[in-house]
């Protein structure tokens, strides 16, 4: 790995944060902005989780914890993995991380170096490519196609593997598309990976329980044949509305666990103690607030998809997971980033242009429906009106 200043210059951005900053600036200057840009639940962290953190501080839990996380928090993650994925894991394979992102950082850092290739979803979460570029490895996009319901294609993914491939990044349910890859496709992919024992897998399952219409996401943990080369990324941010707590977890093969533990010791020491107690309460406590949030997301999902499909030039397939709609805007004549920028500056609607998620993002925009029904309706009305009255730029 070549961590020179030049490597730092290759680090990218997550444009959702830049859009959030601009939307906030416009709002502060008195503009009425509807923000469908940032990917975080608009719900409060449930009270019992907040109380658990406060109690932990009052009880004196304010010091360092083990770098891997409190055993009790790791045991809670093991219970949760059994409950959601039906898989028994050892707490000794669990790392408590300061959010979801540090797991991708650690995994990509472990496998990326000049000469190596890393496969990542395109469109996909922008940090994957940014971190791959940082390591000097070649970032190889795996196309995620609308005609495929924004699921991975096992065949297409496997065809991109070369002797230089070190890591394959998967994400289902997916950001930015809301796509959920069907179990059969994942089975095909895992079967094909038997021919490529040199390839490790990082499965980003941060939206694992955020699915709709009875859809269930398949965890890669359910395939024991790849467990020795599988890293699973997950966390509290989305499911329990805890983005600002910076609480994530990951599950590692034995051979890599010591390495990520050392990275933690050198980099962040441990995740803050009270949050780890809150994390236990989130997993073990009542889930009714989570269910309420998911019911609200489901209603908004329908609202946003129906509304988008009524706008001339826009078509939107029904997302099966996460809280994003990813409409095709090909019929409007607009370039995606120009449209996103014009909608923010002129119509007061913040959303993200597809190209911010990869080279295949042209022709699409991402709307986060983590906002009230009232605001979603206002945004849809503004988008429709804007497109009907504005000449598109080339
Ligand atoms: N993975 C995916 C697919 C995401 O969409 C996000 C956040 O948007 C993350 C990981 C990062 O989560 P965190 O905020 O916990 O770092």
The CATH number of the domain holding residue 326 is 3.90.1150.10
Verify that 174 and 112 share a domain, yes or no.
Answer: yes
Q: Tell whether 260 and 327 lie within a shared domain.
A: no
pTM to 2 decimals? 0.96
pLDDT at 216: 93
Same domain, 173 and 220: yes
**Which atom of ligand 1 is least distant from the CA of 248?**
15
Q: How far is the C-alpha of 125 from the C-alpha of 171, rounded, in Å?
A: 9
Structural domain span for residue 138: 62-284
2 domain-assigned: no
Residue 52, in any domain of the structure:
no
Could you tell me the distance, in angstroms and rounded to a whole number, from the CA of residue 206 to the centre of ligand 1? Answer: 7
Among residues 274, 286, 280, 287, the alpha carbon closest in space to that of 55 is found at 274
Ligand 1 neighbour 235 (Cβ under 6 A):
yes
In a shared domain, residues 34 and 96: no
User: Is 1 inside a domain boundary?
Assistant: no
Please tell me whether residues 66 and 184 are part of one structural domain: yes
Question: Taking residues 358-379, what's their average pLDDT?
Answer: 96
Asked whether the predicted pLDDT for residue 338 surpasses 80, the reply is yes
pLDDT at 1 over 80: no
CB 96 within 8 A of CB 304: no
367 CA to centre of ligand 1 in angstroms: 16
Q: How far is the CA of 324 from the centre of ligand 1 (A)?
A: 13
pLDDT of residue 16: 82
pLDDT over threshold 70, residue 120: yes
Q: Is residue 370 part of a domain?
A: yes
| 204 C-beta closer than 6 A to ligand 1 | yes
Asked if residue 175 has its Cβ within 6 Å of ligand 1, the reply is yes
Q: How far apart are CA 151 and CA 145, in angstroms?
A: 7
Q: Are residues 83 and 135 in the same domain?
A: yes
Q: Is the CB of 203 under 6 A from ligand 1?
A: no
Q: Is 56 among the domain residues? A: no
DSSP-based three-state secondary structure for 33: coil
Per-residue pLDDT tens over the stretch 259-279: 999 999 999 999 999 999 999
Instruction: Tell me which of 238, 248, 356 to substitute to probe ligand 1's pocket, judged by most ligand atoms within 8 Å of the beta carbon.
Output: 238
- Asked if 361 and 255 sit in the same domain, the reply is no
Residue 301 CB–ligand 1 contact under 6 Å: no
Instruction: Say if residue 308 is in the same domain as residue 279.
Output: no
* Domain edge (last residue) among 263, 284, 305: 284
Task: Tell me what percent of the residues of the chain surpass a pLDDT of 90.
Answer: 94
196/248 same-domain check: yes
Domain assignment of residue 97, yes or no: yes
Say yes or no: 301 and 242 in one domain: no
Percent residues over pLDDT 70 in the chain: 98
For residue 393, what pLDDT is reported?
58
Calculate how far, in angstroms, residue 107's C-alpha sits from the geometric centre of ligand 1.
14
CB 96 within 8 A of CB 149: no
Mean pLDDT of 209-220: 96
Q: What is the mean pLDDT of the chain?
A: 96
Domain boundary among 284, 301, 329: 284
- For ligand 1, the distance from its centroid to the CA atom of residue 46, given in whole angstroms, is 20
Shortest CA distance to 364 belongs to which of 349, 348, 346, 352? 352
Average pLDDT over residues 100-123: 97
Cis peptide before 176 (omega within 30 of 0): yes
* pLDDT(92) > 70: yes
Which residue has a Cα nearest atom 9 of ligand 1? 100
Q: Which of 284, 307, 328 is the last residue of a domain?
A: 284
279 in the same domain as 131: yes
Count each helix (H run) and each strand (E run) in the chain, helices first. 13, 12
CA 83 / ligand 1 centre spacing (Å) = 22
Burial category of 213 from C-beta neighbours within 10 Å (exposed 0-12, middle 13-18, buried 19 and up): exposed
Does the Cβ of 242 fall within 6 Å of ligand 1? no
Residue 7: exposure state from Cβ atoms within 10 A (0-12, 13-18, ≥19): middle
CATH for 72: 3.40.640.10
Residue 363 Cβ inside 6 Å of ligand 1? The answer reads no
Q: Can you say how many angstroms the Cα of residue 191 is from the centroid of all Cα atoms in its chain?
A: 25
Does 50 fall in a domain?
A: no
Domain count, the chain: 2
Asked whether 124 lines ligand 1 (CB < 6 A), one says no
258 and 298, same domain (yes or no): no
Q: Does 35 contact ligand 1 (Cβ within 6 A)? A: no
Question: In the prediction, which pLDDT does 248 show?
Answer: 98
How would residue 13 be classed by pLDDT, with cut points 50, 70 and 90?
Answer: confident
**Residue 228 maps to a domain:** yes
Q: Return the residue whose CA atom lies nearest to atom 5 of ligand 1.
A: 175
Q: Output the CA 101–ligand 1 centroid distance in Å.
A: 6
């Amino acid at each position: 790995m070549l961590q020179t200043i030049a490597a730092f210059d290759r680090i990218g951005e997550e444009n959702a944060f830049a859009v959030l900053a601009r939307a906030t600036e416009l709002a502060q200057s008195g503009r009425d902005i509807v923000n469908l840009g940032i990917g975080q639940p608009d719900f409060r962290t449930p009270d019992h989780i907040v109380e658990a953190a406060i109690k932990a501080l009052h009880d004196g839990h304010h010091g360092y914890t083990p770098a891997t996380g409190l055993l009790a928090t790791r045991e809670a993650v093991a219970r949760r993995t059994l409950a959601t994925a039906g898989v028994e894991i050892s707490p000794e394979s669990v790392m408590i991380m300061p959010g979801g992102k540090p797991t991708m950082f650690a995994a990509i850092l472990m496998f990326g170096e000049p000469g190596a290739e890393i496969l990542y979803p395109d469109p996909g979460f922008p940090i994957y490519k940014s971190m791959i570029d940082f390591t000097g490895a070649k970032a190889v996009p795996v196309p995620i196609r609308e005609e495929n319901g924004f699921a991975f294609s096992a065949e297409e993914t496997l065809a991109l593997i070369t002797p230089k491939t070190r890591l394959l990044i998967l994400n289902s349910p997916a950001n930015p598309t809301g796509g959920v890859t069907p179990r059969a496709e994942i089975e095909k992919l895992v079967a094909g990976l038997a021919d490529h024992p040199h390839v490790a897998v990082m499965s980003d399952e941060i939206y694992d329980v955020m699915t709709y219409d009875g859809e269930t996401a398949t965890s890669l943990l359910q395939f024991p044949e790849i467990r020795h080369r599988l890293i699973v990324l997950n966390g509290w941010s989305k499911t329990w509305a805890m983005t600002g707590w910076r609480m994530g977890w990951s599950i590692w093969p034995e051979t890599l666990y010591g390495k990520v533990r050392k990275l933690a010791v050198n980099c962040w020491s441990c995740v803050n103690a009270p949050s780890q107690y809150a994390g236990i309460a989130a997993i073990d406590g009542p889930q009714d607030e989570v269910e309420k949030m998911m019911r609200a997301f489901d209603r908004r999902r329908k609202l946003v998809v129906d509304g988008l499909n009524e706008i001339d030039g826009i078509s939107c397939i029904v997302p099966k997971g996460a809280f994003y709609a990813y409409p095709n805007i090909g019929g409007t004549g607009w370039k995606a980033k120009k449209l996103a920028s014009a909608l923010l500056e002129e119509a007061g609607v913040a959303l993200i242009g597809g190209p911010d998620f990869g080279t295949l993002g042209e022709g699409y925009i991402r709307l986060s429906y983590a906002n009230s029904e009232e605001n979603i309706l206002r945004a849809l009305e503004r988008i429709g009106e804007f497109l009907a009255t504005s000449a598109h730029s080339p």
